[in-house]
């Protein structure tokens, strides 16, 4: 099956799921009013260095091709079982309204309809899937959401101009991080000179807990001054410490920057190589390097590495999709880049798997001269042992140097005590030379 522009890609448990809308093979018999949602599970084969299809599934729907559309897909938690499952948001245009419905994909490749709802307008802004499965979106500067538990569209009591992140926060459940016009206290004059950054910048961050319908202070995420430039956020870690919410996150801005924040304070910034960044997602590699994959509206992509400082480690052009998962089964994450292919060939024909370290697979490379698997594994093991031996030797040398230093320090203190005693007893103290101190 050839690829099209509407196909959706999703990583799940090390596999790549490819979702495609197509007509049945016998379209004439189906009266052209049936559409199939097809899924192909693709896994990377380390012997052939290619992606191969493991299994597939089909879900039939009554609609013409012009009226059915895939909006988005994501991995969400099924609240009934606690299992994370692929979830697909579908749209069907009807005569007087638009019907939306969510499908869950099980390991048997069976699609399960979760819920549906109808609107008199189309979803276009800040559409997010989250646990439940649930769905939220922004329309006319208002926040709406619906879950499989209620199947009723609800409106949050907040006004906002954009949603920059949706996810789980420790102790708060699902939280929406948004930007809105600054809500100034009555003591501040919006027309006068104010000392608060909310008044200066005119906008502010805020967190909205969906389950409790409570607001969280935006400053625990980022200073309000950044609300004018931040376009997307990924929260890497959240925890409670002494009843205080501590959050680590990375943000991309309209100024083509990536900024690292800890507990609301900027800790690092990196200039991005392209304009109009769209999204950012982290990857933790085998060497414990934290990478941030950034995609751009132009179809380009780059990776920012976080070590002593943030820096662009690599960049690519004509990228169709960037996925993060353990595609080679090594126990750590890699980046999978799917490149645009003008030949419109079969699924996952032009790709690259990398962790910017030892892992580097790419399509179009002849691997027939590679070291055989067992021999290569033995060689890698030998190199690992040698590296560990070198580290052990260096560590032992450091320990011996530290022991010598502590011994010398002890002898200096002891000699000082003797000199003090001789001074008190009015005896002449003869200071030893440096060689005597070292040899004692």
Q: What pLDDT, on a 0 to 100 scale, did the predictor assign at position 194?
A: 47
Over the stretch 105-121, which tens digit does the pLDDT of each residue have?
999 999 999 999 999 99
**Residue 438 confidence class, pLDDT cut points 50, 70, 90:** low
Look over the chain and give the mean of its residue pLDDT values, rounded to a whole number. Answer: 85
Over the stretch 20-61, which tens digit does the pLDDT of each residue have?
998 877 655 555 678 899 999 999 998 999 999 999 999 998
The share of the chain scoring above pLDDT 70, in percent, equals: 82
User: Is the model's pLDDT at 371 over the cut of 50?
Assistant: no
Contacts of 238 (CB under 8 A, 6+ apart): 168, 169, 170, 245, 246, 247, 248
Q: What pLDDT, on a 0 to 100 scale, did the predictor assign at position 376?
A: 46
Structure token digits, residue 428: 């002449």
Give DSSP secondary structure letters for 253-278. ETTSEEEEEETTEEEEEEE-SSSSEE
Give DSSP secondary structure letters for 129-176. EETBTEEEEEETTEEEEEETTT-S-EEEEEE-SEEEEEEEETTTEEEE
The share of the chain scoring above pLDDT 90, in percent, equals: 60
Longest dimension (CA), the chain: 117
Structure token digits, residue 363: 């399509």
Q: What pLDDT, on a 0 to 100 scale, did the predictor assign at position 200?
A: 67
| pTM recorded for the entire structure | 0.77
Over the stretch 80-93, which tens digit does the pLDDT of each residue have?
999 999 999 999 99
Reported for 168-171, long-range contacts at CB under 8 A and 24+ positions apart, including other chains, are 168/131, 168/238, 169/207, 169/209, 169/216, 169/235, 169/238, 169/245, 169/247, 170/238, 170/239, 170/240, 170/245, 171/240, 171/245
CA distance 395 to 116: 62
**Residue 431 confidence class, pLDDT cut points 50, 70, 90:** confident
Q: What pLDDT, on a 0 to 100 scale, did the predictor assign at position 375?
A: 46
Higher pLDDT, 7 or 341: 7
**Is residue 188 within 8 Å of 216, Cβ to Cβ?**
no
Q: What pLDDT, on a 0 to 100 scale, did the predictor assign at position 64?
A: 64
CA neighbor of 145 nearest in space, from 158, 155, 133:
155
Q: Which residue do the tokens 């606690």 mark? A: 82
Q: What pLDDT, on a 0 to 100 scale, did the predictor assign at position 437?
A: 54
Over the stretch 266-319, which tens digit does the pLDDT of each residue have?
999 999 999 999 999 999 887 778 899 999 999 999 999 987 889 999 999 999
**Residue 421 confidence class, pLDDT cut points 50, 70, 90:** confident
CA distance 429 to 425: 10
Contacts of 277 (CB under 8 A, 6+ apart): 231, 232, 252, 253, 256, 258, 294, 295, 296, 297
Q: Which residue do the tokens 């993060």 mark? A: 324
**Residue 192 confidence class, pLDDT cut points 50, 70, 90:** very low
Sheet containing 301-306: which strands, arranged edge to edge?
277-284, 290-296, 301-306, 310-316
SS3 at position 327:
coil
CA neighbor of 433 nearest in space, from 405, 407, 411:
411
CA distance 71 to 315: 28
Q: What pLDDT, on a 0 to 100 scale, did the predictor assign at position 141?
A: 94
Contacts of 175 (CB under 8 A, 6+ apart): 166, 167, 168, 169, 207, 208, 209, 210, 216
SS3 at position 377:
helix
CA distance 424 to 341: 89
State the average pLDDT over residues 152-181. 93
Q: What pLDDT, on a 0 to 100 scale, did the predictor assign at position 92?
A: 93
Beta-bridged to residue 304, according to DSSP, are: 292, 312
Q: Is 140 exposed, middle or buried (0-12, 13-18, 19+ CB in 10 A)?
A: exposed
CA distance 286 to 136: 35
User: What are the two backbone dihedrals, phi and then psi, of residue 408, each rounded to the nearest 5 degrees?
Assistant: -65, -40
CA distance 279 to 277: 6
Architecture, CATH, for domain 1-131: Beta Barrel (2.40)
């Amino acid at each position: 099956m050839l690829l099209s522009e509407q196909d959706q890609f999703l990583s799940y448990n090390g596999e790549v799921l490819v979702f495609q809308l197509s007509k049945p093979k016998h379209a004439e018999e189906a009266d052209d009013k049936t559409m199939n949602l097809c899924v192909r599970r693709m896994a990377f084969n380390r012997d052939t260095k290619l992606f191969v299809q493991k299994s597939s599934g089909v879900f039939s729907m009554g609609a013409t091709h012009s009226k059915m559309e895939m909006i988005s897909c994501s991995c969400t938690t099924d609240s009934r079982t606690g299992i994370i499952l692929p979830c697909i948001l579908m749209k069907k245009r009807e005569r007087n309204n638009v019907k939306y419905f969510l499908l869950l994909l099980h390991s048997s490749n069976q699609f399960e309809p979760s819920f549906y709802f109808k609107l008199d307008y189309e979803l276009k802004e800040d559409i997010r899937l989250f646990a439940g499965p649930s769905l939220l979106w922004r329309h006319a500067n208002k926040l709406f959401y619906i879950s499989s538990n209620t199947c009723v569209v609800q409106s949050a009591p907040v006004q906002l101009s954009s949603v920059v992140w949706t996810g789980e926060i420790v102790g708060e459940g699902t939280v929406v991080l948004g930007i809105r016009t600054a809500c100034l206290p009555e003591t501040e004059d919006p027309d006068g000179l104010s000392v608060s950054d909310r008044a200066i910048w005119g906008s502010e961050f805020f967190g909205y807990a969906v389950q409790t319908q409570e607001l969280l202070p935006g400053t625990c995420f980022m200073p309000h001054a950044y609300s004018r430039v931040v376009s997307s956020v990924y929260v890497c870690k959240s925890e409670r410490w002494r009843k205080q919410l501590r959050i680590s996150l990375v943000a991309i801005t309209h100024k083509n920057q990536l900024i690292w924040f800890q507990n609301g304070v900027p800790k690092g910034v990196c200039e991005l190589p392209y304009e109009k960044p769209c999204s950012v997602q982290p990857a933790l590699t085998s060497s414990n390097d934290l990478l941030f994959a950034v995609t751009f509206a132009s179809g380009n992509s780059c990776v920012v590495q976080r070590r002593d400082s943030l820096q662009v480690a690599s960049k690519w052009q004509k990228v169709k999709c960037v996925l993060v998962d353990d595609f080679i089964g090594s126990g750590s994450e890699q980046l999978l880049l799917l490149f645009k292919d003008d030949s419109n060939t079969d699924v996952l024909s032009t790709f690259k798997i990398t962790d910017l370290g030892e892992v580097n697979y790419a399509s179009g490379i002849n691997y027939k001269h590679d070291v055989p698997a067992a021999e290569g594994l033995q060689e890698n093991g030998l190199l690992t042992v040698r590296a560990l031996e070198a580290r052990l030797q260096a560590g032992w040398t450091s320990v011996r140097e530290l022991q010598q230093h502590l011994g010398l320090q002890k002898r200096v203190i002891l000699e000082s005590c003797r000199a003090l005693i001789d001074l008190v007893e009015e005896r002449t103290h003869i200071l030893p030379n440096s060689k005597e101190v070292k040899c004692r």
